[in-house]
Amino acid sequence: MSSFDVIIVGGGIAGASLGAMIAGQRRTAIIESEPHCGVHATGRSAAFWLASYGGPAVLDLSKASGPLLEAGWPGGDRSWLRGRGAIHLGSDRTDWNNLETTVMAADERAAWLGADETRALLPGLRAQWTRALSEPSCADIDVAALHQACLALFRRDGGTVLTGAGLQTATRSNGRWTVRTAAGDVAADIIVNSAGAWADRVAESCGIAPLGLTPKRRTMVQARVGRQGLAQLPLVIDAAGSFYFKGEAERSIWLSPHDETDCEAGDAAPTEIDIALAIDRFQSVVDWPVERVERSWAGLRTFAPDRRPIYGSDPATPSFFWCAGQGGFGIQTAPAAALLAKSLLLGEAPDQIVAHIDAAPFAPGRFDR
């Protein structure tokens, strides 16, 4: 039976980024149930960094992660960001107060756009959309490259990745965990639960009380529209949270109805109703005709009851560490979250990049179980 200091359950961005930070200091294995890492949430992300996205709960993590993503963290090979910019769109009836505060705190270049400026960026904008707030720092993230860079560093520093090795049960005896997986048994001092939509199930399989995490389905549609020059179209996001879309190719866009439909952990798939809803909401914004759906997909995003991520040791069983509940913000916060989680897991002083971030709001002990 292979033995490690730390076993990380789940090889998506949460597990891979934390693994990259600790493999050089602890014998670490990532166990992943799928044939390869990052199948469900990480591999289906809409892939943008928008510092305001997720609101105040993750703003500090997002802002701290931006420069790291720009610098090609964790290896520094190249930047994972490509500038796009964002427009928050609404009307005079929209409640802008909280959003304006968050956007202005997220991006010092954020500004209100005049009507002519907005319509120059979005020709064909329908009349009911009367106000727009720009967030110029928004950027696309090369998620696949970021994820692979984390796994590559993890392996270079001695980490072991075991795929097809879903956790079945885990028991603790004499200060060690014995973990039964589909690929055989492994042992470790600490289990890190980075299992995303399966995190509560993993906890229960380890004899740990669940935290009430809820997987939610998010639908994405790639549509061809009757308009040219869309590749660099800014991210356009509803201030009220009912859609977003951005350019993908010269005549294609990615759009979402910003759905958060409760679902079981599994292989998420889009429904015809949600695809139609995405198109309907898009066509309520601009008069660009949708010619056809080129492809569609759905991913999972998993939230804690208070919608804050969870980082820290379980108060009842400190050798069980939670790294879960990132919602839809796990990729854009991954560098800072990994540095923060590393300090909590290893009992170290936090890296100066995240030293200003209070870890207490993310602790699993905040839940009454």
Which residues, other chains included, contact 298 with Cβ-Cβ below 8 Å and sequence gap of 6+? 44, 217, 218, 219, 220, 268, 269, 270, 274
Q: What is the pLDDT of residue 77?
A: 85
**Rounded Cα distance, 330 and 337, in Å:** 8
Q: What pLDDT does residue 283 have? A: 97
Domain extent for 147: 2-46+143-212+305-366
Q: pLDDT band at residue 44, thresholds of 50, 70 and 90?
A: confident
Q: Does residue 369 carry a pLDDT above 90?
A: no
End-of-domain residue from the set 278, 303, 328: 303
Residue 251 is part of a domain; what is its CATH number?
3.30.9.10
Condensed to tens digits (0 to 9), the pLDDT of residues 57-71 reads 999 999 999 999 999
For 279, phi and psi rounded to 5 degrees?
A: -65, -40
- In the prediction, which pLDDT does 263 show? 94
Residue 41 has pLDDT above 80, yes or no: no
Residue 74's pLDDT band (cuts 50, 70, 90): very high
Residue 75 lies in a domain: no
268-326 per-position pLDDT tens digit: 999 999 999 999 999 999 999 999 999 999 999 999 999 999 999 999 999 999 999 99
- Same domain for 218 and 205, yes or no, is no
Contact between 50 and 102 under an 8 Å Cβ cutoff? The reply is no
Share of the chain above pLDDT 90, in %: 95
Cβ–Cβ < 8 Å for 293, 276: no
Confidence bin at 39 (pLDDT 50/70/90) = confident
**What does the pLDDT read at residue 341?**
98
**Count of structural domains, the chain:** 2
Same domain, residue pair 118 and 153: no
What is the tens place of the pLDDT at every residue in 131-143? Answer: 999 999 999 999 9
Q: Are residues 267 and 358 in the same domain?
A: no
Residue 80 is assigned to a structural domain of this protein: no
Reported pTM: 0.96
Q: Is the same domain home to 170 and 188?
A: yes
Tell me, yes or no, whether 157 and 14 share the same domain: yes
Is 90 exceeded by the pLDDT of residue 151? yes
Q: Is the residue at 194 inside a domain?
A: yes
Q: Which residue has the tokens 């669940």?
A: 210
